[in-house]
Homo-oligomer: A and B are copies of this chain.
């Protein structure tokens, strides 16, 4: 039997999906990309629920046919044993700490605001948008402070912790957010772009991402 290639269930406008595409580009790994239009209801089918009961993207199908969900768990799986994931217990735990922070703080504040503004669910002056923008400032301050003393988030080298945080942070301007005051954060953003194999292929939200489209993820 021939091993199947890696298969990525992927939504092109999602930075959670982009993070995985970025790591795969750094690693030079070929894979099969299955486009999933979450606003055309493609995550709401029975078939998709069997792949991922959480109905999120991305999902990775491994060569032996198992499915792995949660973008940052996929990053960890793919980077194991490579230069992008330290193996020491303390540094590995620090990577996981930032993978969690990205999902609990970076995504709701920056990713959630970007999505709502780009698709017309919120205007910048709406109280809900103002609250998220204020939360994003706190995120920027914390990231900037951490980066003032180091070049990358963990272990003095470029790891999946950087890729995870880069995903939504590098598109903060699409959420109406200005990172100009955060010099260490800006220097780090530039540093990521210079990494070998770097790509940026995040696509705009399609017209069907307008309010009312069926998705269990973004609404």
Q: Is the CB of A70 within 8 A of B103?
A: no
Q: From A69, which residue of chain B is reached at the shortest CB distance?
A: B97
Q: Contacts A54-B142, A62-B90 known; A100 to B103 CB distance under 8 Å?
A: yes
Q: Is the CB of A97 within 8 A of B68?
A: yes
Interface residues of A in 49-107 (CB under 8 A from B): 53-54, 62, 66, 68-70, 72-74, 76-77, 80-81, 89-90, 92-94, 96-97, 99-101, 103-104
A interface bracket (residues with beta carbon within 8 Å of B): 20 to 34
Q: Is the CB of B99 within 8 A of A96?
A: yes
Q: Is the CB of A96 within 8 A of B80?
A: no
B residues in contact with A219, CB < 8 Å: none
Q: Is the CB of B89 within 8 A of A77?
A: yes
Q: Is the CB of B81 within 8 A of A96?
A: no
Assess whether A146 is interfacial by the CB under 8 Å rule. yes
Other A-B contacts than A53-B145, A54-B142, A68-B93, 6 sampled, CB-CB below 8 A, are A53-B142, A53-B146, A66-B90, A76-B92, A77-B90, A104-B104
- The chain A residues found within 8 Å of chain B, CB to CB, are 53-54, 62, 66, 68-70, 72-74, 76-77, 80-81, 89-90, 92-94, 96-97, 99-101, 103-104, 142, 145-146
